[in-house]
């Protein structure tokens, strides 16, 4: 049906909107749900398997252990997961590029070794020591980034080298068998103190306000540009889901979970910290050039280069972001554990990678979100937590986590294959 097409003589758009191209936002809630289901069938599953896994595992452990569904264990799960959530989110920045940082866990460990030795042995002010720890984290990221982005060594080789090297460094700093207790109240508070009861509700209100605010801001902007918006009902549904799930979580965490007369209640302080970092990181990845270019490089680095993107610089800085966020994960870790030894962070990294991959962040690069890694981390944390309640030997935990990682990577590869089917069908 090309009659009359040849008569067009200029490149400006045809004012007759006879064949408007859609925006993918047309139709009501039903159409959007169908479009989403179609994408899922096409291999874009996102965090869906992880959410499913989380529910199945939770039901399973609730049946197997009477302690799983207690307020105490729920709060415990949050704080156990926090370190992994942070590390998983840190890793997303490099995994999106199709790279990996196997040293992220020991980066968390070694920077905390530096931190604790400076405070406990050298008598540093803890804030100054923390600054040094962050500088060390940035330096590690810059080191990895240099060798990967500038020299061109595969990232798994560089970071595997650092995984070993930094463990040696930990041993040198701490000494074999050495152990330092964390005695800084502010650091301990992150994982061991809670918001007041009203604070938890206030947090939820802020989350809802920010979510509603960005949704309506985006809609206003699209309207100004003259393009259609999704059905407004979807915004209300999203806010409703956040309110319901968040409300249940805050309500449970606000119950007294103490074992003695003194009440222990409230949302652990680490939760709002994680939410802020999650929001900031998502903002950067979704709405700024830096984030968009990370996805572009992960999808097709040569196309990104031809589009004028400074590929080397972005690869390099992504490793710095990863290492810096790993330091935050380290802080969560020592706050929870209460001490630092020479093996700090050694077991962390594979769980961190597993968190990202289980959550639906593709190891092939270019696909995934920070929220996915956070959900994946919750799945890994549920496994660790649940198996712990069942008093199974620690070995079982390693085996199950490893198995879940391979399973998730398989789902990743298969769904990538399905999404790629369209490319081959030219």
Partner 1 sequence: MDVPLIELSGVQKSFGPVSVLKGVDLQAFPGRVTALVGDNGAGKSTLIKGLAGVQPYDAGVVRFDGEEVALHTPRDASRLGIEVVYQDLALCDNLDIVQNMFLGREETGFGTFDEGLMEREASETLRSLSVRTVKSVRQKVSSLSGGQRQTVAIARAVLKKARLVILDEPTAALGVAQTEQVLQLVKRLAEQGVAVIIISHNLADVFEVADHVSVLYLGQMVASLEVAETTRDEVVGYITGTRSQGGRAA
Q: Which residues bind partner 1 (CB under 8 A)?
A: 1-2, 5-6, 8-14, 19-25, 42, 44, 218, 221-227, 283, 287-289, 292, 295-296, 298-300, 302-309, 365-367, 419-420, 422-423, 425-426
Shortest CB 406 distance to partner 1, Å: 23
Looking at the Cβ atoms of 176 and 223, the one nearer to partner 1 is 223
Tokens 């980034």 map to which residue?
145
Looking at the Cβ atoms of 16 and 261, the one nearer to partner 1 is 16
Looking at the Cβ atoms of 95 and 116, the one nearer to partner 1 is 95
Kind and range of the H or E run holding 341: strand 339-341
Q: 340 has which bridge partners?
A: 180
Round to whole Å and give the CA distance between 64 and 67: 9
Looking at the Cβ atoms of 123 and 302, the one nearer to partner 1 is 302
Looking at the Cβ atoms of 240 and 420, the one nearer to partner 1 is 420
Round to whole Å and give the CA distance between 355 and 169: 26
Round to whole Å and give the CA distance between 175 and 342: 7
Shortest CB 281 distance to partner 1, Å: 14
The dihedrals phi and psi of 185, each to the nearest 5 degrees, come to -60, -40
For residue 92, give both structure tokens. 């997303």
Shortest CB 285 distance to partner 1, Å: 11
CB 375 within 8 A of CB 51: yes
Q: Which burial class, exposed, middle or buried, applies to 419 when counting CB atoms under 10 A from its CB (0-12, 13-18, 19+)?
A: middle
Looking at the Cβ atoms of 232 and 390, the one nearer to partner 1 is 232
Shortest CB 288 distance to partner 1, Å: 6
Shortest CB 5 distance to partner 1, Å: 5
Looking at the Cβ atoms of 190 and 301, the one nearer to partner 1 is 301
For residue 12, give both structure tokens. 């400006």
Shortest CB 276 distance to partner 1, Å: 18
Round to whole Å and give the CA distance between 286 and 268: 28
Shortest CB 225 distance to partner 1, Å: 3
178: CB partners within 8 A, 6+ apart: 341, 342
Round to whole Å and give the CA distance between 108 and 324: 9
């Amino acid at each position: 049906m090309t009659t009359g097409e040849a008569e067009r003589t200029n490149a400006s758009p045809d004012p007759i909107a006879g064949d408007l191209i859609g925006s993918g936002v047309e139709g009501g809630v039903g159409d959007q749900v169908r479009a989403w289901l179609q994408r899922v069938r096409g291999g874009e599953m996102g965090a869906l398997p992880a959410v499913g896994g989380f529910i199945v595992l939770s039901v399973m452990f609730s049946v197997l252990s009477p302690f799983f569904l207690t307020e105490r264990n729920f709060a415990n799960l949050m704080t156990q997961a926090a370190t992994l959530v942070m590390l998983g989110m840190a890793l997303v920045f490099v995994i999106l590029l199709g790279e990996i940082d196997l040293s992220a866990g020991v980066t968390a460990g070694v920077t905390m070794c530096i931190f604790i030795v400076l405070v406990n042995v050298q008598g540093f002010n803890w804030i100054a020591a923390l600054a040094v720890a962050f500088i060390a984290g940035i330096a590690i990221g810059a080191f990895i980034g240099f060798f990967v982005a500038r020299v061109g060594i595969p990232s798994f080789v560089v970071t595997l080298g650092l995984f070993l090297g930094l463990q040696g460094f930990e041993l040198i700093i701490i000494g074999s068998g050495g152990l330092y207790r964390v005695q800084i109240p502010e650091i301990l508070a992150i994982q061991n103190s809670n918001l007041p009861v009203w604070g938890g509700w206030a947090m939820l209100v802020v989350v809802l306000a920010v979510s509603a605010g960005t949704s309506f801001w985006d809609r206003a902007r699209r309207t100004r540009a003259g393009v259609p918006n999704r059905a407004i009902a979807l915004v209300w549904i999203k806010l409703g889901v956040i309110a319901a799930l968040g409300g249940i979580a805050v309500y449970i965490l606000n119950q007294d979970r103490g074992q003695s007369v003194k009440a222990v209640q409230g949302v652990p302080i680490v939760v709002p910290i994680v939410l802020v970092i999650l929001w900031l990181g998502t903002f950067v990845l979704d709405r700024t050039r830096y984030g968009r270019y990370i996805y572009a490089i992960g999808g097709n680095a040569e196309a990104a280069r031809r589009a004028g993107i400074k590929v080397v610089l972005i690869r390099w800085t992504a490793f710095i972001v990863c290492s810096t966020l790993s330091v935050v994960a380290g802080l969560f870790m020592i706050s929870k554990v209460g001490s630092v030894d020479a093996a700090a962070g050694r077991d962390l990294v594979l769980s961190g990678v597993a968190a990202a991959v289980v959550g639906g962040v593709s190891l092939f690069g270019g696909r995934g979100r920070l929220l996915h890694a956070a959900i994946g981390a919750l799945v890994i944390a549920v496994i660790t937590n649940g198996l712990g309640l069942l008093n199974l030997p620690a070995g079982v935990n390693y085996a199950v986590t490893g198995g879940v990682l391979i399973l998730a990577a398989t789902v990743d590869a298969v769904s990538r294959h399905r999404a790629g089917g369209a490319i081959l069908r030219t």
